[in-house]
Chains A and B, each alone.
Chain A
Amino acid sequence: MGFVLTEEQQILRSSAGEYFNDRLPVSALRQLRDTNSERGYDTATWAEMADMGWAGILVPEDHGGVAFGYRGLGEVLEAGGRTLAASPLISTALTAAPLIAALGSESQQASLLQPIAAGETIVALALDEGAKHAPDSISTTAVQKDGAYVINGDKRFIVDGHVADVLIVATRVSDGRAALFLIERARAGVTIRRRSMVDARNCADIGFRDVRVSSADMLGEPGAVQAELERVLDGARAGVAAEMLGAGLEAFERTVAYLKVREQFDVPIGSFQALKHRAALMFCELELTKSAVAAALNALDNNSEDRAALVSLAKAKAGDMLELVTNEAVQLHGGIGMTDEAEIGLFLKRARVQQQLFGDSGFHRARYAGLMGF
């Protein structure tokens, strides 16, 4: 599997681009924000995406999915990134679905995967407990008591936390081993507080107070979930990096277009060499990011040995690139870039949230260094 897309992947890429332009342009996000949308995404378009198979891209075919792989989902996410499209793609299609497919029992897979692929069920992974991604620092406990488990802890900044029907909760059992539990939102002891984020996208804190779960609710076996969870997290990282690539390309292209039309001192400002050079530098960073993201997505589909390093490379590069591009985009749009009326500021806001999802550039540089022995 190389860099050049297969014909099928190319078709998906084109149709995703058209879809998001038509049905979820940037103005759709603005509307969700300005109307204080309760669900934070449009259920009608999510149903359309499910109809096209996008909710089930990582769901096996015998559970109603299309099993098109990470590179394919990456193309959809990149296209959605260009229009800042709000949807449960990241929480449900990208993260929860493959985790359930990998670790779920027959009955868990049967009861969850098909509704996920059909767009009927939203599932969110409740992993992080602080302001920065820290998958090794889980304090939420699952204590065995009377044949059941009792869960206590607080999860923070959970994507789609307030609209998820089911949560996948990361805990530690008494001997410190990691365990995952499937907990529906209405279970006693679960409290959900939505957060209002700068990018107007879904996010919530979720508290667990003496939440009783049975071993039937456990996803996989305690202490035996690490490898799969890591692989799924890598998939989430690469997918978010793909969305960031789309956002970066769009912000960059809008900026270059602006440089060509905005005139000051009787000339287009794009004729100023200093601005040309800054644009060319952004171009270089985007090209590097494109390559890293594609390589990471392929590595996930191929189960390559260097998957983890490539994923961390992609997420780190995407973060650095997008910080540069979104900062430059606002600056090069001048005063207009600072208005809420303009769309370019929305890219800046979304970029910083994407940076924090599943580990920022610093996290991934440290991880890459560890993997390479630096």
Chain B
Amino acid sequence: MRTPMPEDERVWGGRNPSYKNPDSRVWLERMAAKGWTVPQWPEQYGGAGLSEDEAAILQQEMSRLECRSPLASFGIWMLAPVLLKYGTEAQKQTHLPPIARGEIRWCQGYSEPGAGSDLAGLKTRADDNGDDFVINGQKVWTSYANYADWIFCLVRTDSSVKHGGISFVLFDMTSPGVETRPITLISGASVFCETFFTDVRVPKENLVGELNAGWTIAKELLQHERAMISQIGRTLGGTIPPLDILARSCLGGTDGRIGDPVLRDAVTRHMMNDHAFALTVKRAGEEQEAGMASGGASSMFKYYGTEQNKAKFELMLKCAGAEALGWGGDEFSAGQLDLCRSWLRSKGNSIEGGTSEVQLNVIAKRVLGLPD
């Protein structure tokens, strides 16, 4: 549990958990028993009740000892913060402890085929049926929906008002009428699903917050999602070397430098931008710690980081030539195949979690104050 964690050993928990590495189950159980999967939560909800400083110390120790995170969880990262803020006591008692123990696995019902960037245009309906809502509609890009036990879902409870007709509900994915279908991407198999709802009954007690007041909750949750995305990117390593090392090895020059001057310049430009970006992330962190008002630098992180990532893979393709264009088989190494798939998958980085175009709009509006 103190070695780097390969992607297939990540622990998601749930009613039907799988543990590729049996030690992971023990690690989760012990950490959960101490409330350390969610150290800052109140103890009554499964946490350890630590203060921010104490939690920071715990995190430091875990980093120092190179401990794996015991549990990956959309419940922890995205749902819990809004449940703690907007949920009823009953909802918190019901849902938070299983989240903390990794016993219930969640997915996020947000985007629809007709509601991506314009999420508020969602159409999945929740009709009032006395004690229940009856839900009909379709979600798309639902990560791990085929493995999830429960879903937090945005539904339309008033068709006459766009943003003001949205509600935030929770329900069991084993409810009759729920169907999931995995989506294959241009890069191959993915965790994304289409999720279909046909007359799904959801008890009204599963409504979080007020009826038709779900948009506020939805937006707040998106902030937690953005923070999650920026964290998750850092833990993935794998079979692909850094750009400059790959370039040198593919284009080896006689002096140990990148042999192609055009690509050397392109790689240099990219690495320099990476360097400046890393310094900017550090600067924003220090400024935040010093209590300085955000100058807006963090608004550019998603945009810049994802565009850099895409550009990196394009450069890698140029360096590696046809060896980076394999789809499968023994003629290509695992690293080469991984590179091709990663290049394809990276195209989605500038689309998911708020497209690059939307990110630029946000910078223009919120940071620069340009008019609508």
Contacts and interface: CB of A to CB of B under 8 A. Distances in A.
A202 B210 CA distance: 68
Contacts of B368: 256, 276, 279-280, 283
Contact of A279 (B280, B282, B370): B370
B175 to A, nearest CB: 41
B272 interface: yes
B292 A281 contact: no
B364 A374 contact: no
Interface in B327-372: 357, 359-361, 363-365, 367-372
A282 to B, nearest CB: 9
B361 A276 contact: yes
B286 A3 contact: yes
B360 A276 contact: yes
Contact of B258 (A260, A267, A275, A374): A374
A290 interface: yes
A268 B371 contact: yes
A276 B292 CA distance: 26
B21 to A, nearest CB: 37
A36 interface: no
A283 B359 CA distance: 12
State the main secondary structure of chain B at its contact with A: helix
Interface string B103-121: 0000000000000000000
Contacts of A270: 370-371
A204 B150 CA distance: 75
B77 interface: no
Contacts of A309: 275
B360 A295 contact: no
B244 interface: yes
Contact of B269 (A276, A280, A289, A365): A365
Contacts of A368: 268, 271-272
Contacts of A4: 286-287, 290, 292
A238 to B, nearest CB: 14
Interface string A1-44: 01110000000000000000000000000000000000000000
Contacts of B279: 288, 291-292, 294-295
A372 interface: yes
B247 interface: yes
Contact of B280 (A288, A369, A373, A374): A288
B244 A291 contact: no
Contact of A374 (B268, B300, B304, B370): B268
A271 B300 contact: no
A247 interface: no
B363 A280 contact: yes
Contacts of B244: 372-374
Contacts of B282: 3, 291
Interface string A331-374: 00000000000000000000000000000000001101100111
Interface residues on A, range: 35 or more
Contacts of B286: 2-4
Contacts of A374: 244, 247-248, 257-258, 264, 267-268, 271
Contact of A271 (B268, B275, B292, B370): B370
A284 interface: yes
A286 to B, nearest CB: 10
B303 interface: yes
Nearest to B281: A291
A155 interface: no
B360 A280 contact: yes
B154 to A, nearest CB: 26
Nearest to B253: A374
Contact of B370 (A256, A284, A365): A256
Contacts of B361: 273, 276-277, 280
A173 to B, nearest CB: 30
A271 B372 contact: yes
B256 interface: yes
B371 A291 contact: no
A292 B273 CA distance: 10
Nearest to B291: A4
Contacts of B372: 271
Contacts of B61: none
A121 to B, nearest CB: 37
Nearest to B298: A287
A6 to B, nearest CB: 11
Given A280-B368, A283-B300, A374-B268, A292 B276 contact: yes
A267 B371 CA distance: 9
A167 interface: no
Given A4-B287, A276-B360, A291-B283, A316 B272 contact: yes
Nearest to B300: A284
A338 to B, nearest CB: 23
A280 B360 CA distance: 6
A97 B24 CA distance: 62
B296 interface: yes
Interface in A266-317: 267-268, 270-271, 273, 275-277, 279-281, 283-284, 287-292, 294-295, 309, 313, 316-317
B363 A291 contact: no
Contacts of B147: none
A259 interface: yes
Given A4-B292, A372-B271, A288 B371 contact: no
B357 A277 contact: yes
A260 B360 contact: no
Interface string B291-330: 0100111001001100000000000000000000000000
A253 to B, nearest CB: 9
B220 to A, nearest CB: 23
Contacts of B297: 287
Contact of B273 (A260, A273, A288): A288
B108 to A, nearest CB: 27
Nearest to B276: A288
B47 to A, nearest CB: 32
Contacts of A280: 300, 303, 359-361, 363-364, 367-368
B275 A313 contact: yes
A367 B97 CA distance: 56
Q: Which 7 A-B residue pairings sit nearest by Cβ, starting from the closest? A: A276-B364, A291-B279, A280-B363, A288-B276, A280-B360, A3-B283, A291-B280
14 contacts: A2-B286, A270-B371, A277-B360, A280-B359, A280-B361, A281-B360, A284-B363, A287-B280, A289-B276, A313-B272, A317-B276, A368-B272, A369-B257, A372-B244
Given A256-B368, A288-B304, A373-B248, 5 more contacts: A3-B283, A271-B372, A287-B280, A369-B258, A372-B244
Interface of B: 244, 247-248, 256-258, 264-265, 267-269, 271-273, 275-277, 279-280, 282-283, 286-287, 290, 292, 295-297, 300, 303-304, 357, 359-361, 363-365, 367-372
